[in-house]
Structure 1
Amino acid sequence: MMNILITSAGQRVSLVKSFQKELTAIDKKAKVFTADFNPMLAPACHISDGYFAVPKVTDQEYIGHLIKSCLNNDIKLVIPTIDTELNILSTNISEFEKKGIHVVVSDASFIKKCRDKRKTNELFERYGIDTPTQFNQNNLEFPVFVKPYDGSRSEGIFTAFEPSDIKDEHTNNKKLMYMEYISDEEYDEFTIDCYYDKNSTLKCVVPRKRILVRAGEVNKGVTKKNIIVNEFTKKLAKLEGARGCLTIQVFLHKNKDIMKGIEINPRFGGGYPLTYLSGANYTKWVIEEYLLNKEVTDFSDWESDLLMLRYDAEVLVSNYDK
């Protein structure tokens, strides 16, 4: 049985549905399971083929519990979805492999560079991609963009327009980075879904222009075939340690060929459904590469200028009494 598990499923209903569609097209009896710390309150768990609760990622029992649940449900492939679980899964990947379970995750060393935005900047620059200028507290140029070096979901970020906006709580916070302010009047922000095969070779690049972001995830976006595709294909063709779907964020100048890298998330992002619906079928490629041992070929025939407009929908659960 080629069952799949999507961890920290939360609200990733579209991601689960994409795996259900692609998996059953290959094996009608195969199932897509989900796991979450509180599955009863996770919408994606209620539309999957089965779910179970897991301890917090920081719990020492997490890996053992997850492996046991995989074995009990004939799960052969694990798809992580949040930043905090990536390092522990990558560090323990051999424990899963011993049990015949594949985990689609990048190398631990690469993940650490992605989690620390300072190291991410160094990574971009090593591959020839510019980044916003970084300042220290003694040479700030206002306005300045402030963010934690290990943050996610846009938490803790703000723009300081003058020195009085920098409070003692900020100067005492060693986790804050001070970056060049990038004006949305000059630049558009893009999230790029990249697919890297088992050999860390780039197979597909789909830039998504972020029109509206809510809680750190794209609420409205549009696919664009632009200079980003050429730049990534040329400069990031081989990204050592990267595997599976990566979401890379950049700023692209509206009128000039200027691109600045800002973030790398080595996992399926919240806006991936737009990439999937544009024809770049990363879901299918993951299944074929990891479960069927097929080689993924280069792909560029996805639909450009495809607009995604998201809305809230309901998942109803009967007999809830907690």
Structure 2
Amino acid sequence: MDSDPTMIIGSAGRRLYLIDWFREAFADLGLEGRVVVTENDPTSAAASYGDIGRSLPRYADPAYGPALLELVDELRPSLFLSVNDYELMHLHVATDLAEQLRERGVLVPGVDRAWQLGCADKLRMAQLLEGIGVPTPRTVTGDDEAGIAEIAATSEGLVVKHRLGSASSGLALVTADGVRAAVDAAIASAPAPADGSAPSGQDVVVQSRLPGREHGVDIVGDLHEPGALRAVLARRKVRMRAGETDKAVTVDPTPFIGNAERIARAARLTGLVDVDMFLAEGGEPSVIDINPRFGGGYPFVHLAGADVPRYYLARALGLEIGEDWREYSPGVVSAKHESVRLTAAGI
């Protein structure tokens, strides 16, 4: 084994805790490993926090791919992961960079192309989930008047949000009387389509509002056997802030295992995806969103005992670690807090 094993976290942004936990995982494995952070903004919170920090062009810049491959050839990491949705789309869909990294011997967690596209498109995701028998709310576009009327007739409330948005962008919880105004407002604030046209009802989705409590569930697939489920880690959301879980309590993952198995198998999952599910008392959980990366809810299960970073590194480096990495205690409440660090001076 390399005496100085290396991993790369792309676009870590504000998630300094993830860098710390991979450092701790190296130490727990008895290794002097390096956590490399790549960022486009050299003054971001994470850019100078890694053991090595490297600035890369923006993912959409033609220079991004060559620069990333040059870095990988130089540092020879065993593992590469990104926590940025747009960078992931570029790696797995817009280019073959993820495959080029794998050909160089780098472990790159993810889902297959169809599911990566689905994770970015809420209408497509609903269709994928329905196709594998996973409960999900009825979903139509904002210009589907008949579909909206059907949802309004069978649901006490409706949800409006951007079709290609993230972090709850465009979100509105409305009744049937307010759905048209909410759709119009969401259209006005929707990201412009790639072809440069003005946003329309096709860029907004309307869904039935689900009963029950919202949960965040990490589905962890084997890193070498696509589709093989290795862990399900769950927490009930107590408070949200800016579209991300701010406080949560860990819960028994048993109710979510069936959905997790179907998603992992269909998506040919390797590594972790962050899934939002609603669970009503005595009911079956329904999936409303999937993020193909470490999400903002992972810290709550990590602080309760789970250790996915240690699992990632062990699988990347061919080490045996048993199964305790997926064990955590239910009933543990955690909350996020603010912090700040100096990232540049004199500019």
| TM-score in terms of structure 1 length | 0.89
- Structure 1 gaps of 5+ residues are none
Describe the superposition over 1:71-96 as per-residue Cα deviations: whole angstroms up to 9, x where unpaired.
33343321111111113223322322
Distance 1:44 1:31 in 2: 15
Of residues 197, 202, 207, the one that matches 1:174 is 202
Q: 1:27 to 1:70 in 2, by over 3 A?
A: farther
Structure 2 residue matching 1:46: 3-state secondary structure: coil
Q: Return the letter of the residue paired with 2:278.
A: F
Q: Mark the CA change 1:229 to 1:296 in structure 2 (over 3 Å): closer, same or farther.
A: farther
Q: Partner residue of 2:217?
A: 192
Structure-to-structure mapping, 1:137-156, within 5 angstroms: 137-138=145-146, 139-140=148-149, 141=152, 143-156=157-170
Alignment partners' CA distance in 1, 2:241 and 2:270: 27
- The equivalent of 1:247 in structure 2 is 274
Between the aligned partners of 1:149 and 1:295, the Cα distance in structure 2 is 41
Bigger mean CA deviation after superposition, 227-236 or 86-95: 227-236
Secondary structure, counterpart of 1:102 in structure 2:
coil
Q: What are the Cα deviations for residues 249-275 of structure 1, in whole angstroms up to 9, with x where unaligned? A: 11111x332321111111111221222
- Give, in angstroms, the shift of residue 307 of structure 1: 0.8
Alpha-carbon deviation of 1:244?
0.5
**1:158, distance to aligned residue in structure 2 (A):** 1.6
* Counterpart in the other structure of 2:333: 307
What secondary structure, in the 3-state scheme, does the structure 2 residue paired with 1:191 have? strand
Distance in 2 between residues matched to 1:227 and 1:203, nearest whole Å: 13
User: Bigger CA drift: 132-141 or 294-303?
Assistant: 294-303
- Greater share of helix: 2
Alpha-carbon shift at residue 187 of structure 1 (Å): 1.6
Aligned pairs, number: 316
SS at structure 2 position matched to 1:79:
strand
The one-letter amino acid paired with 2:111 is S
Q: What's the secondary structure of 1:193's corresponding residue?
A: strand
Cα offset for 1:156?
Answer: 1.7
Percent identity reads 23
Tell me if structure 1 keeps the 8 A contact 2:221–2:229: yes
One of 95, 117, 134 as aligned partner of 2:139: 134
Select which of 82, 85, 88 maps to 2:84.
Answer: 82
The answer to whether the Cα contact below 8 Å between 1:218 and 1:271 also exists between their aligned partners in 2 is yes
TM-score by length of 2: 0.83
Q: Is the 8 A contact 1:18 1:283 kept in 2?
A: yes
2:311 to 272, 285, 289: 285
Indicate conservation of the 8 Å contact 1:6/1:34, yes or no.
Answer: yes
Unaligned runs of 5+ in 2: 188-199
